[in-house]
């Protein structure tokens, strides 16, 4: 890496850095050469970091007041909403924060799909990302169980019953997951413990995700490898930091709107009814971010096959770097892939929609077609596209298409500063 | 930038569409002008106080409100009875306390810190007294039903004679807005059922509106603070966004790439 | 000054942004801090009423107020005299017994040693008042510190006699 020869200026700094090179790390992070053509879709990495920290901090606070006991859980959540100072705010931020987290992660994933960020040499970043996404789903699901409302209870029942589809050992696994013969107090307490643990696993994986990113450096909208540092790059700080901050603020405005004005729109009314093991709500659906997978699960008539299809839909993403055979990364230069990309986006949205609808009639038919297409996209279309697609010419550098910009960027910051000062004087 | 904004709009519309399509699978609810809707929505104090009266005189015979305390009645953002009034209200209920120094339970007048007295000791007793149907706890009812306040308001006014093709058993009533149209609660409100001390005419609609407002408050007691804080937060975020945008433009002017 | 103007103007944006950001972070941190303060339901329990009709002279009862023990001691004439005969110079934390009670017969105080918060034992110690077993603080019949590491007398909570038989603490 370019910054391995960094030495702190102060004596104390040097003394410290020789023993623990934190300053070298900080220097690496601030100087990290970033492609300067990154668009706003690239700001979601920073936004996701914000989401994770927000969830951990608000979750920690909620844990100070929440009681993981089937007799008290619902009441303790009401206690948080009514009596705890700012409890309503903290809980609504946490609950809506989960949705915002998934919103951001979906944009992040689809950005990667569009610009081919999962391709060599970034396969490990991508796979760590998929593991993070899986852990996020686990954390979100277990978190949703904690308020012990009707949806909590029945969601937990349905999801844990998925494992009973496994031949021979399935029943044993569900009983083991439950710690009993149905979802009950032992299930709640273990879900609580795991819900607390998983975010820290995610945090660790995020560190690896960023570490793996900093080895080859960022992909960029043009999708070409660039020389770092060069005219094509800017230091992470302040350029990318300030841009991420701006995007984060816009994201926070949307977030705040949900929290303060429609805090329950993404949830289900039934979860404000305390769990009742004797009555199932009329219409069970998972949270919106799990709906596409729920649709895939229900579109397969066989119990075991449905579960396999659902898990495959996620695991297939792990193989994506090898399923996509095209040498060109960015969809900008792949006219055919670009079209299939948007069809896939539409397909996932359709799956999400039918996932929220009753599994019958036309909805079921649409779900089946959309499920089939999802797998066809990854297993058939992508591998073939690499061979048959005629890609557009790819530029050699980011600055190449913009001649004037290239000339400007060769000048040092100092010169630009002087010129700016002159300009504002004039 | 434009793409980003359009994407945000797209997602919001998907969410709202999704929710809308789920909740709108049945008929349209009755509409009325709630003061608590909208960005600056607040509760109507008069409606809350009258609604509390309807709750105590009518609903509380069967429906508990186990998460509310008498002190809530005097808290800001709620019915805002004076502390004296709330104490007086509380003292009109008897609660069990104890054990005393002899080890016996005793009853005493309720204090502000006590929870609302429940009509039945437990769910089973409530079921037994109501033909097997449990009158749901009303503390968070307005959030526990699709359609929220509109649904409750409509339900209270939705009693009607059953269509010819629907046969009702004894103790079951027809309601246009109830899920499945069959409800085990008889029409709870009728004109002049309570006498409002502030001179408001106690029509069925008025009582339904008042008690629904009261239920909305009990489900969402911090709604007013939430709206107020939300407005400030969003205004702040917009101002900060503008400042950060200007800073960003300034910084990026050093390299001639558009942001 | 005039040639520095453009720099100042640019700095103004940076400073304003940083300041506005800092205000926001501060405002966001406050709810996270304040949530640990006593909540509305805890505050509502701030007062408690005690029936003292069954306490005989020389006896004391301990009641719980805000999760802490409150000693209510019905003192004998002898104990009152003892508490009042002490001259203030002898005391580590000089307070008259008259200022510590509303009715000389009834001593109402927080039963918490002012050293490190243990609950002292009654009718023990060298001054026939209370003795804290944790680090050996001795209190007299007025609950004043006489010997040991505790810095001040045991605290008197706010209370009123509602009638001859009832005390309201808090």
For residue B255, pLDDT over 90 is answered with no
Identify the bridge partners of residue C72 per DSSP, sorted by sequence position.
C61, C108
Q: Does B226 touch chain A (CB under 8 A)?
A: yes
- Structural domain contains residue A245: yes
Please indicate, yes or no, if residue A111 is contained in any of the structural domains: yes
Cα B112 to Cα B99: distance, rounded to the nearest angstrom: 20
Q: Tell me, what's the pLDDT at A402?
A: 44
What's the confidence (pLDDT) of residue A245?
97
Q: Which residues of B touch C54 (CB under 8 A)?
A: 101
CB atoms within 10 A of CB A22: 12
Query: From the candidates A65, A85, A244, which should be mutated to test the interface with C, based on the most C CB atoms within 10 A?
Result: A85
Least confident piece of the model among B5-9, B21-25, B243-247 = B21-25
Task: Count the domains in chain A.
Answer: 1
> Is residue A176 domain-resident?
yes
A356 Cβ contact list (under 8 Å, min separation 6):
A285, A288, A291, B18, B21, B22
Residue C122's beta-bridge partner residues?
Answer: C130
Distance CA C133, CA C121 (A): 7
Q: Do B230 and A261 touch (CB under 8 A)?
A: yes
- Given CB atoms, is B39 within the 8 Å cutoff of chain A? yes
CA A275 from chain centre, in angstroms, equals 30
CB contact under 8 A, A61 and C7: no
Start-to-end Cα distance in chain B = 9
Using a CB–CB cutoff of 8 Å, tell me whether C20 touches chain B: yes
CA quadruple B140, B143, B144, B145: dihedral sign:
positive
- Other CB atoms within 10 Å distance of the CB of residue B122: 9
Inter-chain contact A36–B8, Cβ cutoff 8 Å? no
Q: Which of C166, C169, C128 is nearest to C147 (CA)?
A: C128
Residue A353 contacts B where some CB pair is shorter than 8 Å: yes
B154-165 confidence digits (pLDDT tens):
999 999 998 888
Optimal mutation site among B29, B122, B237, B240, interface A, most CBs of chain A within 10 A? B237
- Residue A132: per-residue pLDDT: 98
Q: A374 by DSSP, 3-state: which?
A: helix
Are A198 and A205 a contacting pair, CB within 8 Å? no
Contact flag C54-B101 (C-beta cutoff 8 Å)? yes
CB-based contact, A288 to chain B, within 8 Å: yes
Q: What is the ipTM of this complex?
A: 0.90
* Under 8 Å between Cβ of B117 and B68: no
**Pick from C6, C31, C37: CB nearest A89:** C31
Confidence of residue C53 (pLDDT cuts 50, 70, 90): confident
Q: Which residues contact B243 (CB under 8 A, 6 or more apart)?
A: C13, C16, C17, C20
What range does the domain containing A185 cover?
A: 32-284
Residue B64, classed as helix, strand or coil, is coil
Per-residue pLDDT 10s for chain A (426 aa) are 444 578 899 999 999 999 999 999 999 999 999 999 999 999 999 999 999 999 999 999 999 999 999 999 999 999 999 999 999 999 999 999 999 999 999 999 999 999 999 999 999 999 999 999 999 999 999 999 999 999 999 999 999 999 999 999 999 999 999 999 999 999 999 999 999 999 999 999 999 999 999 999 999 999 999 888 888 899 999 999 999 999 999 999 999 999 999 999 999 999 999 999 999 998 888 999 999 999 999 999 999 999 999 999 999 999 999 999 999 999 999 999 999 999 999 999 999 999 999 888 899 999 999 999 999 999 999 999 999 999 999 888 887 654 333 334 444 454 455 455 445 443
Contact C39 A64 (CB under 8 A): no
Residue B174 CA, distance from chain mean position:
24
By three-state DSSP, how is residue A163 classified? helix
pLDDT band at B15 (very low <50, low <70, confident <90, very high): low
Residue in the block written with tokens 């770092």: A228
Name A425's Cβ contacts closer than 8 Å, sequence gap at least 6: C3, C5, C6
Give the Cα separation of C42 and C65 in Å (integer): 11
How many other C-beta atoms can be found within 10 angstroms of the C-beta atom of residue A30? 13
Position B51 pLDDT exceeds 70? yes
The C159-163 sheet, strands edge to edge: C48-51, C166-169, C159-163
Q: Do B12 and A249 touch (CB under 8 A)?
A: no
Phi-psi region of A119 (alpha: psi -120 to 50; beta: other; left: phi over 0): beta
Entry pTM: 0.89
Q: Which of A57, A58, A83 faces C41 most closely, judged by CB atoms?
A: A83
CB contact under 8 A, B244 and C17: yes
Contact check, Cβ <8 Å, A83/C10: no
| A71 within domain boundaries | yes
| Cβ separation A90–C35 shorter than 8 A | yes
Say whether C115 is catalytic. Answer: no
Separation between Cα atoms, residue A405 and residue B13, nearest integer Å: 38
Is the CB of residue B174 less than 8 Å from the CB of residue B160? Answer: yes
| Amino acid A161: pLDDT | 92
Average the pLDDT over B10-31 and give the result.
Answer: 58
- pLDDT the model gives residue C10: 63
Residue A220 domain-assigned?
yes
Q: Return the pLDDT at A403.
A: 36
Task: Confirm whether A89 is domain-assigned.
Answer: yes
Measured CA angle at A239 (ends A237, A242), to 5 deg: 90
Minimal Cβ distance to B113: which of C10, C21, C44? C44
Mutate to test the interface with A, among C12, C28, C31 (most CBs of A within 10 A): C31
B72 in contact with A, Cβ within 8 Å: yes
For residue A311, what are its two tokens?
């898990």
A345: closest CA of chain B, how far (Å): 12
The reported pLDDT for the residue numbered A397 is 84
The answer to whether position A406 is within a domain reads no
For residues B124, B128, B132 and B135, what is the CA-based torsion angle, rounded to 10 degrees? -70
- Token reading at B152: 């409750």
d(CA B163, CA B175): 11
Give the DSSP H or E segment for A152. helix A150-162
Q: Which residue has the tokens 């969410």?
A: B15
Q: Give A388's Cβ-side CA count (13 Å radius).
A: 8
Contact A270 B241 (CB under 8 A): no
Using a CB–CB cutoff of 8 Å, tell me whether C94 touches chain B. no
The closest CB to that of B113, out of C14, C16, C45, belongs to: C45
Q: Which pLDDT score, from 0 to 100, does residue C49 have? A: 80
Residues on chain A touching B226 (C-beta within 8 angstroms): 88-89, 92, 260, 263
pLDDT value, residue C1: 38
Whether residue A425 lies inside any domain: the answer is no
Percent of chain C at pLDDT > 70 equals 94
CATH number reported for the structural domain that contains residue A136 in this entry: 1.20.810.10
Gap between the Cα atoms of A265 and A153, Å rounded: 20
Kindly list the distances between the CA atom of residue A165 and the CA atoms of A159, A286, B61, B83, C29, in Å, as whole numbers in the listed order.
11, 19, 47, 59, 46
Sign of CA dihedral A375, A380, A386, A390: negative
Question: What letter would DSSP give residue A182?
Answer: S
Task: Give the number of other Cβ atoms within 10 Å of residue C4's Cβ.
Answer: 10
Q: Does A248 touch chain C (CB under 8 A)?
A: no
Q: C116 has which bridge partners?
A: none
Give A169 to chain B, closest Cα distance, Å: 37
């Amino acid at each position: 890496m370019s910054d391995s020869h960094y030495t702190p200026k102060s004596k104390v700094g040097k003394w410290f850095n020789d023993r623990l090179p934190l300053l070298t790390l900080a220097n690496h992070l601030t100087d990290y050469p970033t492609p300067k053509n990154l668009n706003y879709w690239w700001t979601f990495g920073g936004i996701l970091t914000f989401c994770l920290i927000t969830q951990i901090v608000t979750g920690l606070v909620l844990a100070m007041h929440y009681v993981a006991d089937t007799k008290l859980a619902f009441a303790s959540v009401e206690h948080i909403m009514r009596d705890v100072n700012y409890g309503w705010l903290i809980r609504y931020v946490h609950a809506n924060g989960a949705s915002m987290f998934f919103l951001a992660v979906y944009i992040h994933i689809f950005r990667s799909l569009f610009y081919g960020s999962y391709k060599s040499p970034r396969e490990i970043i991508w796979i760590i990302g998929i593991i993070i996404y899986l852990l996020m789903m686990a954390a979100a699901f277990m978190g949703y169980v904690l308020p012990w409302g009707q949806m909590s209870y029945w969601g937990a029942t349905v999801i844990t019953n998925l494992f009973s589809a496994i031949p021979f050992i399935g029943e044993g696994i569900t009983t083991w997951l439950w710690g009993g013969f149905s979802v009950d107090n032992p299930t709640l307490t273990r879900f609580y413990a795991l819900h607390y643990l998983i975010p820290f696993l995610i945090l660790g994986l995020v560190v690896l995700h960023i570490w793996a990113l900093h080895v080859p450096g960022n992909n960029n909208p043009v999708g070409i490898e660039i020389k770092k540092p060069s005219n094509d790059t800017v230091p992470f700080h302040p350029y990318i930091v300030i841009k991420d901050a701006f995007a984060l603020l816009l994201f926070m405005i949307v977030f705040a709107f949900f929290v303060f004005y429609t805090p329950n729109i993404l949830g289900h009314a039934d979860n404000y009814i305390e769990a009742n093991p004797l009555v199932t709500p009329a219409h069970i659906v998972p949270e919106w971010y799990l709906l596409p997978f729920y649709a895939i699960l229900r579109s397969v008539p066989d119990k075991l096959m449905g579960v396999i299809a659902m898990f495959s839909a996620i695991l297939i993403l792990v193989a994506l770097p090898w399923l996509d055979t095209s040498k060109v990364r960015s969809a900008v230069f792949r006219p055919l892939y670009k079209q299939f990309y948007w069809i896939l986006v539409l397909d996932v949205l359709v799956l999400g929609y039918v996932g929220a609808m009753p599994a019958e009639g036309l909805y079921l038919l649409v779900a089946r077609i959309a499920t089939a297409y999802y797998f066809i996209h990854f297993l058939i279309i992508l591998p073939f596209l690499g061979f048959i697609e005629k890609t557009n010419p790819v530029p050699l550098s980011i600055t190449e298409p913009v001649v004037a910009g290239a000339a400007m960027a060769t000048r040092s910051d100092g010169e630009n500063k002087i010129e700016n000062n002159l300009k504002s004087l004039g | 930038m434009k793409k980003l904004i359009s994407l945000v709009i797209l997602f919001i519309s998907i969410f709202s569409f999704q929710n809308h399509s789920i909740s709108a699978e049945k008929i349209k609810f009755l509409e009325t002008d709630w003061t608590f809707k909208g960005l600056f929505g607040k509760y109507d104090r008069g409606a809350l106080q009258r609604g509390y009266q309807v709750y105590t005189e009518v609903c509380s015979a069967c429906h508990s409100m186990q998460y509310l305390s008498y002190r809530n009645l005097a808290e800001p953002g709620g019915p805002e009875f004076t502390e004296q009034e709330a104490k007086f209200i509380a003292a009109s209920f008897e609660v069990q306390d104890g054990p005393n120094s002899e080890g016996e339970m005793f009853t005493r007048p309720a204090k502000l810190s006590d929870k609302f007295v429940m009509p039945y000791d437990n769910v089973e007793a409530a079921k037994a007294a109501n033909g097997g149907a449990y009158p749901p706890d009303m503390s968070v009812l307005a959030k526990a039903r699709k359609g929220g306040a509109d649904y409750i308001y409509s339900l209270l006014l939705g009693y009607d004679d059953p269509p010819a093709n629907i046969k009702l058993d004894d103790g079951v009533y027809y309601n246009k807005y109830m899920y499945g149209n069959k409800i085990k609660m008889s029409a709870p409100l009728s004109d002049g059922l309570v006498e409002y001390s502030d001179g408001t005419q106690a029509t069925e609609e008025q009582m339904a509106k008042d008690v629904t407002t009261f239920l909305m408050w009990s489900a969402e007691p911090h709604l007013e603070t939430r709206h107020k804080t939300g407005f400030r937060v969003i205004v702040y975020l917009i101002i900060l966004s503008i400042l950060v945008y200007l800073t960003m433009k300034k910084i990026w002017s050093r390299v001639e790439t558009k942001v | 000054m005039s040639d520095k103007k453009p720099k100042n103007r640019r700095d103004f944006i940076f400073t304003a942004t940083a300041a506005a950001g800092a205000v926001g972070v501060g405002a966001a941190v406050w709810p996270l801090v304040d949530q640990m303060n006593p909540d509305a339901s805890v505050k509502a329990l701030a007062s408690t009423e005690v029936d003292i009709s069954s306490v005989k002279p020389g006896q004391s009862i301990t009641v719980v107020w805000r999760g802490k023990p409150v000693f209510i001691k019905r003192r004998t004439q002898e104990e009152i005299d003892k508490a009042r005969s002490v001259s203030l110079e002898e005391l580590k934390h000089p307070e008259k017994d008259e200022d510590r009670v509303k009715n000389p017969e009834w001593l109402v105080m927080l039963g918490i040693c002012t050293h490190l918060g243990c609950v002292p034992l009654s009718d023990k110690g060298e001054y026939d008042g209370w003795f804290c077993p944790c680090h050996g603080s001795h209190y007299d019949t007025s609950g004043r510190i006489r010997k040991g590491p505790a810095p001040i007398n045991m605290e008197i909570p706010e209370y009123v006699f509602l009638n001859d038989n009832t005390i309201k603490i808090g």
